[in-house]
Structure 1
Amino acid sequence: MNRQVKQVLGLSAFAAGCMALGMGLSHGWQASAQEERPVVVDAKGLDRLPPIAEVAEKLNPTVVAITNTSFVKNRRFEHPQVGGQDFFDFFFGPGGPQQRRTPRGGEDEQRAVSGGSGVIISPAGEILTNYHVIASMGGSDNALEVKTSDGKSYKATVLGKDKELDIALIKIDAAHLPFAKLGESDSLRIGEWVVAIGNPFGLEHTVTQGIISAKGRKLDTGVSSFLQTDAAINRGNSGGPLLNLKGEVVGINTAINPAGQNIGFAVPISQVNRIIKELRSGKPVSRGYLGIGPLELDQAYQDALGVKAGVVVSTVEKGQAADKAGVQRLDVITALDGQPVRSPEDLVTMVSSRRAGETLKLTLWRDGKSLTVTATLGDRKALEDQRRREAGEEPEDEQAPKPQGDLKSINLEKAYGFTVEPLDVKNRLKGVVVTSVDPRSPAADRGLAQGMVITEVGRQPVNSLAEFNAQVKKASGRTLLLFIQSPNGVQKVTLAIPPR
């Protein structure tokens, strides 16, 4: 009997143990199933807004407005301040002169004015902006003017420029200016807050905010891979800074997609940092060239070549760096100096960030094996200049424009930029008639135009060319206050013409 009881108790204990073990396993399986949870973010600081206002307040004084004036042949002139044809109609009636002529009877020229933004990066007046903001718009030369946040205006000179990166460094003659710190853009994360400041459509110091929408965007405008942002960027923002919440410059705003909304692009500041010394020196930017045609390693190439990551070499230019290093067509470049290469855009950015003459280790996948070769990079610009010469074109001039010297002569054309002649004796007015106005002169800035009649200098009537010349000589190179009339004497205005 006791033995039977012991057996029953033993079996009961075993069953209880099995049940407990089963329940435990079941609980474990249930717990394991519960661990498969959706991805969430343990965000902190949701009760605090990003310090956009503080960034705007502190960095606004570092942002400038840039005006670029070029002189383009054979276009209708419109006065930049008074307003186009209506201004000429005021003096001459509808159908009057529409262009100003050069003082020496050359081709008709128009003053073309565009605007952009820039950011001060040193207390001595160095300013970063876009190349396209400071480039001439088709004329023989151009002039740059910078307006700072305190309302002061300065003439600017170009220190250095890089057309491919769309970056330029200019300078104004000033000291102790507020300036922004250049940050770095390589560690930026998609979704990170950014602030853009600029002068869209002439609306100075406009602040917009957004996030980094994407990185590594290729726009077929050069060698740069751009940052994409949804911070509102419009015409006039070009050259202005894209800032992180520390107030550091992480990009230079440069382009928009006009077909979309809030799709803007900025040159990553890390790429600018690599060439800043060359920009300051005024020398052309040295940019490496490998000499291959890269292709995306899509699934078809992966299956055919037996590799999952890298860039396919589609073509190899004879005599260039890759050819000399032994790179072959259908090689797959998997890394440069040990850094993985994931796309053709990665490859172009990494190579172009190096200088001509630098060596680069290429990790290749060829016929099922990995190998490493060393290439000495060629000069991208030198190669492009050579191609231009072979095509019968002139290489692009990357030298900075030289500042014009002061013109001290009282000669009317040299001192003020216009010429006059005596009025026809049949004209009932007394004075002199303007025969030409240099569109590059202060006279053109103020609205003086061919055909206008000058009847007084200051408050002194001038009835002849001799009297006019005497008053100009008396002014000794100071501003001329001219009383102007239309040829029929109906319209009248006073213009202040400063010397050049």
Structure 2
Amino acid sequence: MRVLTLISILTLSFFLGCKAEPQISTVSEPRHEMNSGGVLEAFQNELSKVIDKVSPSVVTIFARQEVEFNPFEQFDLPFNLPIEPFKRERRSLGSGVIVKYDKGKLYILTNNHVVENAKSITVRFDKHTEKPAKVVGTDPKTDLAVIEVDAKGIEDAQSRIATLGDSDRVKVGQLAIAIGNPYGLERTVTVGVVSALRRSIGITQYESYIQTDAAINPGNSGGPLINIYGEVIGINTAIVASGQGLGFAIPINLAKWVMDQILEHGKVVRGWLGVVIQDITPDIAEAIGVKEGVLVAQVVKGGPADKAGLQVGDIIVSLDGKKIDSVRDLQFTVMKTKPGTVVELTVIRNGKEKNIKVKIGELPEKVGSGQIEGGSEDLGISLRDLSPQEKASLGVEGVLVVGVVPGSLADLSGLRPGDVIMRVNYKEVKSVREFQNIIEALREAGKAKALLLVRRGENNVYVALRLR
């Protein structure tokens, strides 16, 4: 409240100052005497205190990773000669934030992509102190990881613990401060505002990003996004490379839940319903006469929902009395439900409301048949990876179309549920992630359409997918 008051006074002072006649001052006059009421100085001092408080919690992370590399993959080799990929070392640079001290160990929260497949990890606490670290656990589905370091020899180790805030209370327009190590420039501070909430950008399975215009660059990944009270409200994760002021942070409440799961189980244990769902668009709402809830497009055979009697076409409107407004609502609610818990779903079936009790299962480690992996809301398509059994049965690699929104770009292009997308512009596609990356690259290149090779039934067909 104090900071908001300062900002209000500052704004008023600015407009009043605009109306005043210009005054001539000698060059020897102290700058602080020109400051209207000292508001700027007070605000600056408060901001510096916040940054000084949080900076010791921010670390630089160096990881050595081993990756496969095939220098011939861009060429068409004769006779389909098999080429074994080379392995080479890659160095990863990122940031992290110290979140816990326990039994002589410091625990650091960072991004999974910073430490993924790392052969060794080094954490720099300041210019005099570096320590080896090891991974406690990772979660690719949210791009989070927890690493630990022996606290012995680290000055004021316990005082370095960051204060974690409540991301559910974050509002658009609030000040946001990013601290990290962009391009290796340690503890760089940038200031902006929270631009938007609950963003989905298609890089992980579980997304509800805080968007900010506080500058984030390569090397900031894993560092904290903080509020004016010095509380961590997010973990900086991604940027839109072709844009400016488009940074994204994982909400700290989600990060805390993932961290607690990793520290307790060594991995993230998620609840699983076993359905493919999609949001109700205006076109679907007009067709079915229901505006709220999520539509069940597919039920995984043998999964929790199947055993409970859920059916394709059911509209889930609430879970244990909590209203369900979107796919994200149901996805995150089920994710945080302990496996084995019995919940009550309220569904609309054939225009009538029905209550169904479901025993939540545990999300399998690997994607199986019927589990949704991703898609694209603006294209109006839901996709998932093929299971090993489906690949063997169909004899093809690709991604399965599990849902197409009526009237969407995918629908107008002629895609149908059940289609298997095998190639995009002659590039083979073996996962949803590969499909999304190719489509994003085509859009960045200004392409309006993509040529898809699709297996439909027993035949192959080409489909020109509209991208805008």
TM-score category of the 2 structures, normalised to the smaller one: 0.5 to 0.7
- Answer yes or no: is the 8 Å Cα contact 1:75–1:110 preserved in 2: no
The offset of 1:236, in angstroms, is 0.6
Would you say 1:314 and 2:297 are equivalent positions? Answer: yes
Match of 1:241 among 224, 227, 241: 224
The offset of 1:312, in angstroms, is 1.4
1:192-203 equivalences under 5 Å are: 192-203=174-185
Match of 1:372 among 331, 342, 355: 355
Would you say 1:205 and 2:182 are equivalent positions? Answer: no
What CA distance in whole angstroms lies between the structure 2 residues aligned with 1:260 and 1:249?
A: 25
1:26-37 equivalences under 5 Å are: none
Call closer, same or farther: CA 1:262–1:145 in 2, change over 3 Å: same
What CA distance in whole angstroms lies between the structure 2 residues aligned with 1:391 and 1:66?
A: 40
Q: Deviations over 1:137-173 (max 9, x none)?
A: xxxx510000003530000011111111111110111
Call closer, same or farther: CA 1:209–1:353 in 2, change over 3 Å: farther
Call closer, same or farther: CA 1:211–1:74 in 2, change over 3 Å: closer
Q: Which moved more, 1:224-233 or 1:49-58?
A: 49-58
2:214 corresponds to which residue?
A: 231
What CA distance in whole angstroms lies between the structure 1 residues aligned with 2:237 and 2:296?
A: 31
1:489 corresponds to which residue?
A: none
1:54-453 equivalences under 5 Å are: 54-72=49-67, 110-123=88-101, 124-136=105-117, 142-175=119-152, 176-177=156-157, 178-220=160-202, 221-281=204-264, 283-382=266-365, 384=367, 390=389
The offset of 1:385, in angstroms, is 6.9
Q: Deviations over 1:15-52 (max 9, x none)?
A: xxxxxxxxxxxxxxxxxxxxxxxxxxxx7441254843
Secondary structure class of the residue paired with 2:310: coil
TM-score by length of 1: 0.59
What CA distance in whole angstroms lies between the structure 1 residues aligned with 2:86 and 2:350?
A: 65
Which gives a bigger RCO, structure 1 or 2 (Cα 8 Å, sep 6+)? Answer: 1
Q: In proportion to residue count, which structure has more strand?
A: 2
- Answer yes or no: is the 8 Å Cα contact 2:346–2:355 preserved in 1: yes
- Answer yes or no: is the 8 Å Cα contact 1:297–1:309 preserved in 2: yes
What CA distance in whole angstroms lies between the structure 2 residues aligned with 1:284 and 1:122?
A: 17
Q: Deviations over 1:225-279 (max 9, x none)?
A: 2111111111111000111111111111111111211111111111122232321
The offset of 1:391, in angstroms, is 7.1
Secondary structure class of the residue paired with 1:232: coil
2:80 corresponds to which residue?
A: none
Query: Which runs of 5 or more structure 1 residues have no equivalent in the other structure?
Result: 1-42, 77-106, 394-500
Call closer, same or farther: CA 1:391–1:203 in 2, change over 3 Å: farther
Q: Which residue identity does 1:129 align to in structure 2?
A: T
Q: Which residue identity does 2:191 align to in structure 1?
A: Q
Secondary structure class of the residue paired with 2:262: helix
TM-score by length of 2: 0.63
Secondary structure class of the residue paired with 2:344: strand
Q: Which residue identity does 2:143 align to in structure 1?
A: D
Q: Which residue identity does 2:252 align to in structure 1?
A: I
- Answer yes or no: is the 8 Å Cα contact 2:108–2:148 preserved in 1: yes
Q: Which residue identity does 2:281 align to in structure 1?
A: D
The offset of 1:322, in angstroms, is 1.6
- Answer yes or no: is the 8 Å Cα contact 1:60–1:149 preserved in 2: no
Call closer, same or farther: CA 1:204–1:75 in 2, change over 3 Å: farther
What CA distance in whole angstroms lies between the structure 2 residues aligned with 1:72 and 1:342?
A: 41
The offset of 1:183, in angstroms, is 1.8
Call closer, same or farther: CA 1:256–1:74 in 2, change over 3 Å: closer
What CA distance in whole angstroms lies between the structure 2 residues aligned with 1:270 and 1:68?
A: 26
1:29 corresponds to which residue?
A: none
Secondary structure class of the residue paired with 1:347: helix
- Answer yes or no: is the 8 Å Cα contact 1:224–1:349 preserved in 2: no
Query: Which runs of 5 or more structure 2 residues have no equivalent in the other structure?
Result: 10-38, 72-84, 370-385, 393-468
- Larger C-alpha radius of gyration, 1 or 2? 1
What CA distance in whole angstroms lies between the structure 2 residues aligned with 1:268 and 1:247?
A: 15
Identity %: 38
What CA distance in whole angstroms lies between the structure 2 residues aligned with 1:74 and 1:162?
A: 24
2:383 corresponds to which residue?
A: none
Q: Which residue identity does 2:360 align to in structure 1?
A: L
1:467 corresponds to which residue?
A: none
Q: Deviations over 1:382-435 (max 9, x none)?
A: 452797664799xxxxxxxxxxxxxxxxxxxxxxxxxxxxxxxxxxxxxxxxxx
Q: Which residue identity does 2:107 align to in structure 1?
A: E
- Answer yes or no: is the 8 Å Cα contact 1:223–1:352 preserved in 2: no
Count how many residue pairs are aligned between Structure 1 and Structure 2. Answer: 318
What CA distance in whole angstroms lies between the structure 2 residues aligned with 1:339 and 1:316?
A: 22
What CA distance in whole angstroms lies between the structure 1 residues aligned with 2:92 and 2:232?
A: 24
Q: Which residue identity does 2:325 align to in structure 1?
A: R
What CA distance in whole angstroms lies between the structure 2 residues aligned with 1:307 and 1:130?
A: 39
The offset of 1:308, in angstroms, is 2.2
What CA distance in whole angstroms lies between the structure 2 residues aligned with 1:149 and 1:241?
A: 17
Secondary structure class of the residue paired with 1:148: strand
The offset of 1:357, in angstroms, is 2.6
What CA distance in whole angstroms lies between the structure 2 residues aligned with 1:350 and 1:259?
A: 33
Secondary structure class of the residue paired with 2:151: coil
The offset of 1:120, in angstroms, is 0.5
Secondary structure class of the residue paired with 1:301: helix
- Answer yes or no: is the 8 Å Cα contact 2:173–2:193 preserved in 1: yes
- Answer yes or no: is the 8 Å Cα contact 1:160–1:281 preserved in 2: no
- Answer yes or no: is the 8 Å Cα contact 2:145–2:259 preserved in 1: no
Q: Deviations over 1:83-140 (max 9, x none)?
A: xxxxxxxxxxxxxxxxxxxxxxxx976432110000011243110001111002xxxx
Q: Which residue identity does 1:128 align to in structure 2?
A: L
- Answer yes or no: is the 8 Å Cα contact 1:364–1:370 preserved in 2: yes
Q: Which residue identity does 1:127 align to in structure 2?
A: I
- Answer yes or no: is the 8 Å Cα contact 1:218–1:345 preserved in 2: no
Secondary structure class of the residue paired with 1:350: helix
